[in-house]
């Protein structure tokens, strides 16, 4: 009987070890970038700097495989006034279908972004795969009015005088 228990325990341990997968390599993500809105509600070109009025901010993840995987994004405050460091600002998760290799996340605040340094962490099946840091800067739009100064009417030119020579 002890032999049967030992065999069953051995099979259970072997099956558990076989079921464990290796960590997902960082190369599983071909490209990770942030983008502003392209004007039609979709991610535009890659950018590395944002303004507080850039709403939403897109996070584009291009995977190195078309296998099914759960992609999670944490949008984290790194150094933002009034926000504790490493606070998750936006969190989203998506499980791809077979044949998909692109995931688009977007995030928006209730009003405007708070200026500061942020980071996006990407997880694949629960394991950190890649991250990118960026900055959101204040929108300093200063409108300067053109100054117009009224000047007196230009002097009317007098008719040229003819000189007479004696």
Q: Say which residues have a Cβ less than 8 Å from residue 97's Cβ, sequence separation at least 6.
A: 68
- Total domains present in the chain: 1
Q: What residue numbers bound the domain in which 83 lies?
A: 22-137
Residue 55 maps to a domain: yes
Which pLDDT belongs to residue 161?
A: 53
Distance of alpha carbon 82 from alpha carbon 89, whole angstroms: 13
Which pLDDT belongs to residue 110?
A: 83
Q: Quote the tokens at residue 11.
A: 């099979």
CA distances from 27 to 24, 47, 83 (A): 8, 21, 32
Each residue's pLDDT tens digit, 41-76? 999 999 989 999 999 999 999 999 999 999 999 999
Which pLDDT belongs to residue 121?
A: 97
Residue 113 maps to a domain: yes
Q: 10 Å Cβ neighbour count for 43?
A: 20
Determine whether 98 is exposed, middle or buried from the number of CB atoms within 10 Å of its CB (0-12, 13-18, 19+). exposed
Residue 107 maps to a domain: yes
Distance of alpha carbon 122 from alpha carbon 56, whole angstroms: 18
CA distances from 83 to 28, 108, 119 (A): 32, 16, 14
Q: What is the CATH number of the domain that holds 73?
A: 2.60.40.2550
Each residue's pLDDT tens digit, 110-126? 888 999 999 999 999 99
Residue 68 maps to a domain: yes
| pTM of the complete model | 0.68
Which pLDDT belongs to residue 108?
A: 85
Per cent of the chain over pLDDT 70 is 68
- Candidates 62, 56, 97; CA nearest to 75 is 56
């Amino acid at each position: 009987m002890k032999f049967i228990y030992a065999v069953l325990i051995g099979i259970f341990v072997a099956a558990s070890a076989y079921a464990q997968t290796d960590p997902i390599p960082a190369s599983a993500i071909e490209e990770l970038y942030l983008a502003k809105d392209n004007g039609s509600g979709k991610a535009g070109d890659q950018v590395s700097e944002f303004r507080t009025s850039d709403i939403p901010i897109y996070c584009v993840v291009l995977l190195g495989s078309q296998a099914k995987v759960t992609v999670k994004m944490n949008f984290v405050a790194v150094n933002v006034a009034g926000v504790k460091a490493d606070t998750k600002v936006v969190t989203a998760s998506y499980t791809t279908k077979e044949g998909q290799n692109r995931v688009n996340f977007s995030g928006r605040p209730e009003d405007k972004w708070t200026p500061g340094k942020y980071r996006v962490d990407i997880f694949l099946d629960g394991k950190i795969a890649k991250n990118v840091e960026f900055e959101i800067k204040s929108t300093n739009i200063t409108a300067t009015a053109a100054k117009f100064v009224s000047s007196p009417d230009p002097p009317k030119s007098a008719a040229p005088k003819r000189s007479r020579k004696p």
